[in-house]
Amino acid sequence: MTGFNKRNENFLTKIAVENLPASIKMKYLFIFRLATTLFITSCNGQDSLKTAPYNISKEGDGITFNYDTLSVEYIALANKSLIDRSYKFPTDKTFETRIKDIFEFDITQYKNKIVVLKPSMFPNIALKEKKFILIEDPDFDNKEKINADLLFYYNNYLFNNDRIAYNYLKLNQSILLKDLVRLFGYNKDKELVKFAFDGFDFNNEISFHDLIFSYNISDKKFYIRKGIFDDIENIIFGGETEDFSYAKDGVGYNRVSNIIDKISENKTQYFQPEETIAYLYDKQLRIGVTGNIEETLNKNSSYKDFLEKNNFYGFERLRDYAETIHQPSYEIVNKVMSFKIYDSDGFSNLRKEKGATSEIVQKIKSGESVDVLDNSGDWFLVKTKEGKEGYVHKSRIKSN
């Protein structure tokens, strides 16, 4: 390419010398050489771009398909179907930005004109020059033709946020629509997030993992989707609890403990694995689920020190629980322990049985010492200085 540019420069320079006045020659040569430099720089920049990672698809039986060779006629047919419906094509910037927001994929990093956004039997295919997403309908009988309705409404929702298109997809292509959240982690459309969570199997560890993690092809690591976790907390559980005295009902976090185990066993596959684990504990604590972090602290006495050294990664619920609420299990301590009542109301109720509705035996002032006879579960069996025994919720008890 450099040789070609050099030959053209010599040729044009000769013309300039022979035909242009001296006062113009220098200006012409400067402009020409500047343009040549910019052109070469542009070409070099193109060469530095990466190759799209998912464009070559394995079809089975040793057969592969390269989406870079996608039929020009097929693309033209799809493009014409959008034009015929007066589709409003996005600008280059909008096209690139929306794909990054929705699919967690930066197409500007790749030199391919056609970019597959995720491996799939029926993938989302970004056509850079045409500025639309090509998607096949798995239920469409004729594979040689375009499902014009799907193509139009899908792109109209993705790039124009058209609510009529959204409702059409919700009614006719619900799985495709939900996958924008479930597989790609798109959560800026809260109506869509609620729709995607409806019927989702939070008990399926694989599906749950796909929901809460994105995969970065560059460093080959999983990244936690904190926005999705915020949505689970707010939509499934209705927000965080006020304290640790109760846990919210819901299945949203049923597989968090399994995910923590998975990260612990495969730390090199996750971005900042220790902080991610601490984040998951904190999210559980925010809805009152204490069992997993309690078990970890009981089994590993050094984990609290580790969290303290890392300032609990800034997770205040985790800090509050580890420093104020958690106490070693009865089996570990294996003796009567002395604690103090800690309650912002100024007192805590000693109850006859475990449970907030059980008969009140005595009111214990905040700051008074009690002996813990059994600290298993959420309600501790304690003995007051007056000799009365009963139950106090563990969130109201602090070690001396």
| Residues facing residue 65 across a β-bridge | 57
CB neighbour list of residue 234: distance below 8 Å, 6 or more residues apart: none
Do 117 and 43 fall into the same domain? no
Do 236 and 170 fall into the same domain? no
Task: Work out the average pLDDT over 380-390.
Answer: 89
Do 63 and 130 fall into the same domain? yes
Do 82 and 177 fall into the same domain? yes
Position 363 pLDDT exceeds 60? yes
Do 280 and 179 fall into the same domain? no
Instruction: Determine how many CB atoms are found less than 10 A away from the CB of residue 131.
Output: 18
Task: Work out the average pLDDT over 224-251.
Answer: 94
Do 217 and 292 fall into the same domain? yes
Answer yes or no: is 194 within a domain.
no
Answer yes or no: is 66 within a domain.
yes
Query: How do residues 321-336 score in pLDDT, each as one tens digit?
Result: 999 998 766 555 445 5
Do 170 and 249 fall into the same domain? no
- Provide the domain count of the chain: 4
Confidence of residue 344 (pLDDT cuts 50, 70, 90): confident
- The pLDDT of residue 61 is 79
Do 258 and 318 fall into the same domain? yes
Do 321 and 377 fall into the same domain? no
Do 120 and 206 fall into the same domain? no
Answer yes or no: is 90 within a domain.
yes
Of 301 and 102, the one with more pLDDT: 102
Among 123, 152, 183, give the residue marking a domain's end.
183
Do 315 and 221 fall into the same domain? yes
Residue with tokens 């809460």: 212
Answer yes or no: is 189 within a domain.
no
- The pLDDT of residue 106 is 96
Burial 336-370 (b: 16+ CB within 10 A, else e): ebebbbebeeeebbbbeeeeeeeeebbebeeeeeb
Answer yes or no: is 62 within a domain.
yes
Give me the CATH number covering residue 373.
Answer: 2.30.30.40
- The pLDDT of residue 5 is 38
Confidence of residue 350 (pLDDT cuts 50, 70, 90): very high
Confidence of residue 48 (pLDDT cuts 50, 70, 90): confident
Determine which of 16-30, 46-60, 71-85, 134-148 has the lowest per-residue pLDDT on average: 16-30
Position 143 pLDDT exceeds 80? no
CA distances for 312 relative to 66, 261, 277, 296, 316, angstroms:
47, 19, 11, 15, 7
For 39, the domain range is 2-48
Do 166 and 240 fall into the same domain? no
